[in-house]
Amino acid sequence: MSGTVGTAARSVTVRVPAKVNAQLAVGAARPDGFHDLANVFLAVGLYDEVTATPADELTVTCSGPDAAQVPLDTTNLAARAALALAERHGIAPGVHLHIDKDIPVAGGMAGGSADGAAALLACDTLWGTRATREELLGICAELGSDVPFSLVGGAALGVGRGEQLTPVEVGGTFHWVFAVADGGLSTPAVYGEFDRLTAGTDVPAPAASQALLDALRSGDSGALAVALSNDLQAAALSLRPSLAGTLAAGTGAGALAALVSGSGPTTAFLVADEGAARKVADALLGSGTCRNARIAVSPAPGATVL
C-alpha cells in the first residue's frame, strides 16, 4: 500500500496489465446479442496504475499519452467498479481515482477492463470491505467480459462471454511487439461486422485449440506462432483495411506471427527474443503504418496492490 495509512493522505495504488488474445474463437450471435467465446487470454507487461484516495465524492482523473480519450464520468469502468463495490457494501463511494494510463485506449488490449479490475481492488483495500476473491470476480463479470481476467492475470481460458475463467499453464516467457494504430475501433462495431461477414454461414461452436494450450504449456514460441488465431481479425481488417500493411511490416521484419489483438486495431507480433522485438519494433515504426510500437513480455501478473 502506498501513502500513509490512517490519515487523510492514505491512498492505495494497484498496477494492472494489458492482455492479448492468443486465441479468440467466436460463435454465432446469441439471442441476447452476445457471442459465445473460447478466449485464451495472456496478460502482457504493459500496465496501467490506478490510485484510490479518499475524497468527498467519486471523481476520476487520468494521465498518460492517451488520457484525452478516456471518459472521466461514471461511464469509466474504474468509476463503475467503485460504485458497484460501494453499493454492495452500503457505503458512500467517496473516492478519487487517478488512472496513470500506459495501455493503448480502444486498442483491443482491455485497457478499460484493466482499470475496472484495478479500481475494484484498490477500493476494496482502501475501504477495508474485504470482499472475497469470488465476490470481486463476480463484480468484475458484471462490469464486463474481460474484467475478471484483468484481476487474475497470467493466462486463462475464458468461456461463456469470456468471463468464466480456467487458469492456463504457461511454461516460458513469450516476447511481443504491439503496433498501436491511429484511432480506436469500437468492440461492438467489430462484433457487428463479424455478424455481417458470417451471416448465412454455419459458425462453429467456439472451442479452445489443444495445439495452442500445448504451445503455451511448453513455452515454445515457434509452436505458439502456428497456433495463434483470432476470429475477429477479418472483421477488424474489413473495418480498417490499412491494418494489413501493419501486419505485413511486422512479418517482413521477422516476426514469428502477426495478428490483430482482440477487436483491434492494435496488432500483435510474436517474436523470438528481445533482440527480434527491437528489430520488429523499429521496422514497424519506420514503416509509417502505426502510431507507436511497444515491446512487452507475457505472462504478467494480474491486478496487484503496490
The set of residues, in sequence order, having a beta carbon less than 8 Å from that of 208 and lying 6+ positions away, is: 23, 25, 38, 40, 157
The only residue of 262, 271, 290, 300 in contact with ligand ATP, by rule CB under 6 A: 262
Q: Is 302 in the site for ligand ATP (CB under 6 A)?
A: no
Q: Taking CA 174 as the corner, what is the angle to CA 172 and CA 176, rounded to the nearest 5 degrees?
A: 170
The only residue of 263, 267, 289, 298 in contact with ligand ATP, by rule CB under 6 A: 263
Count of beta carbons in the 10 Å neighbourhood of residue 183 = 11
Distance, in Å, from the CA atom of 95 to the CA atom of 126, rounded to the nearest integer, reads: 9
Tell which residue, 162, 192, 134, 149, has the closest CA to residue 299: 149
Asked about 146 being catalytic, the answer comes back as: yes
Cell numbers for 160: 461463456
Asked about 66 being catalytic, the answer comes back as: no
Q: Is 115 in the site for ligand ATP (CB under 6 A)?
A: yes
Q: What is the closest distance, in whole angstroms, from the C-beta atom of residue 99 to ligand ATP in the complex?
A: 6
Size of the site for ligand ATP (CB under 6 A): 22
Distance, in Å, from the CA atom of 281 to the CA atom of 287, rounded to the nearest integer, reads: 10
- Marked catalytic residue, from 19, 36, 48, 124: 19
Tell which residue, 266, 295, 234, 270, has the closest CA to residue 110: 266
Q: Is 13 exposed, middle or buried (0-12, 13-18, 19+ CB in 10 A)?
A: buried
The only residue of 187, 230, 233, 246 in contact with ligand ATP, by rule CB under 6 A: 187
Q: What is the closest distance, in whole angstroms, from the C-beta atom of residue 282 to ligand ATP in the complex?
A: 25
The only residue of 17, 184, 250, 302 in contact with ligand ATP, by rule CB under 6 A: 184
Q: Is 246 in the site for ligand ATP (CB under 6 A)?
A: no
The only residue of 17, 64, 93, 112 in contact with ligand ATP, by rule CB under 6 A: 112
Distance, in Å, from the CA atom of 165 to the CA atom of 157, rounded to the nearest integer, reads: 6
Count of beta carbons in the 10 Å neighbourhood of residue 63 = 12
Q: What is the closest distance, in whole angstroms, from the C-beta atom of residue 8 to ligand ATP in the complex?
A: 25
Q: Is 108 in the site for ligand ATP (CB under 6 A)?
A: yes
- Marked catalytic residue, from 115, 146, 182, 282: 146
Q: In terms of CB distance, is 178 or 253 closer to ligand ATP?
A: 178
- Through-space distance between the first and last CA atoms of the chain, rounded to whole angstroms: 5
Cell numbers for 200: 448465412
Q: What is the closest distance, in whole angstroms, from the C-beta atom of residue 234 to ligand ATP in the complex?
A: 17
Q: What is the closest distance, in whole angstroms, from the C-beta atom of residue 131 to ligand ATP in the complex?
A: 20
Q: In terms of CB distance, is 93 or 283 closer to ligand ATP?
A: 93
Q: What is the closest distance, in whole angstroms, from the C-beta atom of residue 70 to ligand ATP in the complex?
A: 5
Per CB under 6 A, residues contacting ligand ATP are: 70-71, 75-78, 99, 105-113, 115, 146, 184, 187, 262-263
Catalytic residue positions, numbered: 19, 146
